[in-house]
Chain A
Amino acid sequence: DAGVIQSPRHEVTEMGQEVTLRCKPISGHDYLFWYRQTMMRGLELLIYFNNNVPIDDSGMPEDRFSAKMPNASFSTLKIQPSEPRDSAVYFCASSFGGAAGYTFGSGTRLTVV
């Protein structure tokens, strides 16, 4: 298995632009998570899905952030409009079952200038 695949690996964008991060979970996994990591705040859970349904989005910082999972093999995290404080590494992770360990992707490093 290729693991959790995220794209792009790096994204540099100007403030105010829309940014879309993509994630392909491991086939058969029924949970998908989006995390954000910064030096100041560490790893933060933004949102997670179970069977493609958003379960908890309380970690989404504000309305500028949205996430979708149209099918079991694809999810997106969108920021519109982007701001410099959104600069971070965004990780996607998936798992099979609620008690299993998570498999993380390699992350997307977002820089908003």
Chain B
Amino acid sequence: DAKTTQPTSMDCAEGRAANLPCNHSTISGNEYVYWYRQIHSQGPQYIIHGLKNNETNEMASLIITEDRKSSTLILPHATLRDTAVYYCIVSGLLNAGKSTFGDGTTLTVKP
């Protein structure tokens, strides 16, 4: 799997958009970008994933650069309950199950 690099921590004001960056410069053409989050003491929660196009669901938006070497997860209106560790992962169909969770970004949403 391609390695990912994320900032260790970020803060965001409640109600504002939270933009979480991820670098994956060694991503292969058939590898997807996945985002998960883990709220303290809970299991990781799947958020969104994409291959090359931008994606949006009820939780978040995923913006992938044209060269696919980086991406941004956007939480449009952050709430206190969005405080969590956010993991960016790259994985391909041929190595499904090999998703490696790094240290992630600790997002703290402040009132």
Contact = CB atoms under 8 A, between A and B. Distances in A.
Interface string B90-108: 0001001111111100000
**Range of interface residues on chain A?**
20 to 34
Interface residues of B, number: 21
Interface in A64-113: 91, 93, 97-99, 101-107
A56 B98 contact: yes
Interface of B: 32, 34, 36, 42-49, 87, 93, 96-103
13 contacts: A31-B97, A43-B44, A45-B98, A50-B97, A56-B97, A91-B43, A98-B97, A99-B49, A101-B36, A101-B48, A102-B99, A103-B46, A104-B46
B46 A102 contact: yes
A42 B103 contact: yes
Q: Secondary structure of the A side of the interface? A: strand
